[in-house]
Chain A
Amino acid sequence: MIECKNINKTFNGKQILMDVSASFEQGKTNLIIGASGTGKSVLLKTLVGLVHPDSGSVLYDGRDFTLADKEEKQVIRREIGMLFQGGALFDSKTVEENVLFPLDMLSEMSKSEKEDRVQFCLQRVGLDHAAKLMPSEISGGMAKRVGIARAIVMNSKYLYCDEPNSGLDPQTSIRIDNLIQEITHEYNITTVVVTHDMNSMLEIGENIIFMFKGQKIWEGTKDNILGTDVKDLQNFIFASKLIRDMKN
C-alpha cells in the first residue's frame, strides 16, 4: 500500500498541492483524476520522489520515503515501475534493450536469465515480435506497452502510470487500460494511474481520488462516481454530453 499524508507543495509562490492525503491499495488500480492543472502530475511526481514536498510524507508499506536516506530511497525506488506519458523510451536503444536496461543496471541476474525475463515481459504485453525495433519505428500504443514491460521487468511492487491513454485511439486506450488492470491483479501490485480519460475511470477505477485546485475533494470507486453530489466532480464528469446522456 502507498499512502501520502498532508502533502503540501508550492512552486514560485503558488500552492499546487494543499494538504493532500490519500491511500492507494495493493492489488487495485488506483486512479487520480481531475482537470488539467489541478496538481495530479505533481502529486504523482511527489509520490515517486521526483518532486520533494514542502511538508507531508509518502509511505511505501509503512516505510517513510520522504525521510528515507539515499540508500533507503534506492531500495524503494527499485521496487517502483513507472509508465511515462510519452513512454520515455531511450531513443538510442531497441525495444528489447529498453526493457533489458533496468535488469542490466540493477539486477544480479545472469545473461540468460535476463534474456528470458525480457522475452517474458515483451510476450506479456504482446510485443515479442517487435524486440529488435527502435522506438522511432513503433506506434504510440506500442511505445506505451514497451513502457509497461520496462516498468514490470524488475518485478515492481508499485506501478505508476502518467496519463497512459494520452494521444491514443479509443481501441488502443482500452487495450492499455486492460493490460494495466490485468498486470495489477496478476502480480498483486499497487498501481496508481493519473488520468482524465472518462473511459479509463469507468473501466478500471477500483479506487478513485478526484483532485480540484490542488486538493483532494472526493474519493470513491467507478461504481459510485456517477452518482456523486460533489458539484466540481459533477462538472468534471458530465462535461461531455455523451456521459450526461449515459447517466440519464
Chain B
Amino acid sequence: MKSFGKYMILMSTLFVRREKFSVYWKLTIDECILIGTDSILIVAIVSSFIGAVTCIQTAANLVSPLVPIYVVASVVREMSILELAPTFTCVVLAGKVGSSIAGQLGTMRITEQVDALEVMGINSASYLILPKILASLITIPMLVTFAGLLAILGGYTAGILGNIISTQDFIYGVQIDFNEFNVTFALIKAFVFAFLISSISAFEGYFTKGGALEVGQSSTSAVVKSCIAVLVADLSLAQLLLN
C-alpha cells in the first residue's frame, strides 16, 4: 500500500511545475522513436509467428466435417484482435520498453543526474517521466494495431503454405461475423497497458537507490510488475467491457 501511495504521488507530480510545451514535444518525439520505432522488429516477429501458430493449432484441433474450414480464419482473427495483439505484444513490450525505462531512470538516479535536474529547479519527474508515458500512449496502440494485422497475415501465410486453408476461405473467415467493437476493445486495452508499462517502469527506475546492482533489480522488478499489472488489467477490462 505504501508503494501504491508513493506511485500515486509520483503520478500527480507529473502535472505540476511543468516546463515549456516545446521541451516536452521534442522529448516525446525522441521517446516515440525509442519506444515505438525501435520495437517494430520484435513486435513484427512475435506477432507473425503467434498468428501462424494459432492458425496451425486451431486447424489441428478442429478436425471435423461439421466445422467449416473458414472457422480457422475466424478464430485467428478473434484471437489476434482480442488477445494476442494487445496482451501478448504488451507483455513483450513490458520486457523491452519497461526494462529500458527503469534502467535509464535508475542509472540517472544513482549517477545524480536526477538530483542535478532538481537543483536546477526542474521538476525531474515531469521532465523525465511524462514524455515516456506520452510516447507510450502514442506508439503502443500503433504497435498493437500493427501486431494484429501481422498476426492475421502470419495466420494466412501459415494456412496457405501448410495447405490448411485456401485464400478464399481465409478471407471469407476473416470477414464473417466481424464485430467492430473488438477493435475498439483492443485499442482500449492497448492504451491502458501502455500507461501501466511506462508508469510502473518509470516508478521503479525513478526511486532506485544504491548502485549498479540495484539498477538491475529495478529493471527486473519493472518487468515483473508491469507484466502482472497488464494481466490483471486484461482480466478486469474483459470483465468490464465484454460482459
- Tell me if A85 is interfacial: C-beta within 8 Å of chain B: yes
**Distance from B19 Cβ to chain A, minimum over Cβ atoms (Å):** 6
- Tell me if A234 is interfacial: C-beta within 8 Å of chain B: no
A88-B19 contact given A77-B120, A82-B119, CB 8 Å threshold: no
**Distance from A227 Cβ to chain B, minimum over Cβ atoms (Å):** 36
Residues facing B in A77-113 (CB within 8 A) are 77-78, 80, 82, 84-86, 88-91, 102, 104-106
- Tell me if A161 is interfacial: C-beta within 8 Å of chain B: no
- Tell me if B38 is interfacial: C-beta within 8 Å of chain A: no
Query: Which residues of A are found within 8 Å of B119, using beta-carbon distances?
Result: 48-50, 77, 80, 82, 160
- Tell me if B175 is interfacial: C-beta within 8 Å of chain A: no
- Tell me if A14 is interfacial: C-beta within 8 Å of chain B: no
Tell me the complex Cα distance, A61–B115, Å: 23
Which secondary structure dominates where chain A touches chain B?
mixed
Residues facing A in B19-56 (CB within 8 A) are 19, 23
CB distance A86 to B111 under 8 Å? yes
Residues facing A in B97-123 (CB within 8 A) are 107-108, 111-113, 115-116, 118-122
What is the chain A residue whose CB lies nearest that of B110? A86
- Tell me if A247 is interfacial: C-beta within 8 Å of chain B: no
Query: Which residues of B are found within 8 Å of A15, using beta-carbon distances?
Result: none
- Tell me if B17 is interfacial: C-beta within 8 Å of chain A: yes
CB distance B121 to A106 under 8 Å? yes
Q: Interface readout for A198-233 with B: 1 if CB under 8 Å, 0 if not?
A: 000000000000000000000000000000000000
**Distance from B101 Cβ to chain A, minimum over Cβ atoms (Å):** 14
CB distance A70 to B17 under 8 Å? yes
Size range of the chain B interface in the assembly: 10 to 19
**Distance from B59 Cβ to chain A, minimum over Cβ atoms (Å):** 48
**Distance from B169 Cβ to chain A, minimum over Cβ atoms (Å):** 51
Query: Which residues of B are found within 8 Å of A84, using beta-carbon distances?
Result: 112, 115-116
Query: Which residues of A are found within 8 Å of B107, using beta-carbon distances?
Result: 91
Tell me the complex Cα distance, A85–B113, Å: 11
- Tell me if A74 is interfacial: C-beta within 8 Å of chain B: yes
Tell me the complex Cα distance, A210–B214, Å: 33
CB distance B115 to A88 under 8 Å? yes
Query: Which residues of A are found within 8 Å of B17, using beta-carbon distances?
Result: 70, 74
Query: Which residues of B are found within 8 Å of A102, using beta-carbon distances?
Result: 120
Query: Which residues of B are found within 8 Å of A45, using beta-carbon distances?
Result: 115
CB distance B112 to A78 under 8 Å? no
CB distance A77 to B116 under 8 Å? no
What is the chain B residue whose CB lies nearest that of A74? B121
Query: Which residues of A are found within 8 Å of B108, using beta-carbon distances?
Result: 91
Residues facing A in B104-157 (CB within 8 A) are 107-108, 111-113, 115-116, 118-122
CB distance A82 to B121 under 8 Å? no
**Distance from B125 Cβ to chain A, minimum over Cβ atoms (Å):** 14
CB distance A78 to B116 under 8 Å? no
What is the chain A residue whose CB lies nearest that of B114? A88
CB distance B121 to A88 under 8 Å? no
Selected from A50, A80, A90, A105, the residue in CB contact (under 8 A) with B113 is A90
CB distance B115 to A105 under 8 Å? no
A86-B112 contact given A70-B17, A105-B23, CB 8 Å threshold: yes
Tell me the complex Cα distance, A49–B108, Å: 19
CB distance A105 to B122 under 8 Å? yes
Q: Interface readout for A139-171 with B: 1 if CB under 8 Å, 0 if not?
A: 000000000000000000000100000000000
What is the chain B residue whose CB lies nearest that of A147? B116
Query: Which residues of A are found within 8 Å of B121, using beta-carbon distances?
Result: 73-74, 77-78, 106
A88-B111 contact given A77-B120, A105-B120, A106-B121, CB 8 Å threshold: yes
Q: A50-B115, A86-B112, A91-B108 are in contact. List 5 more A-B contacts (CB 8 A).
A: A48-B119, A74-B121, A78-B120, A88-B113, A88-B115
Tell me the B residues contacting A by CB distance below 8 Å.
17, 19, 23, 107-108, 111-113, 115-116, 118-122
Q: Which 5 A-B pairs have the closest CB atoms?
A: A77-B121, A88-B112, A88-B116, A84-B112, A82-B119
List, sorted by A's number, 15 A–B pairs whose CB atoms are closer than 8 Å: A49-B118, A49-B119, A50-B119, A77-B119, A77-B120, A77-B121, A82-B119, A84-B112, A86-B112, A88-B112, A88-B115, A90-B116, A91-B107, A105-B23, A106-B121
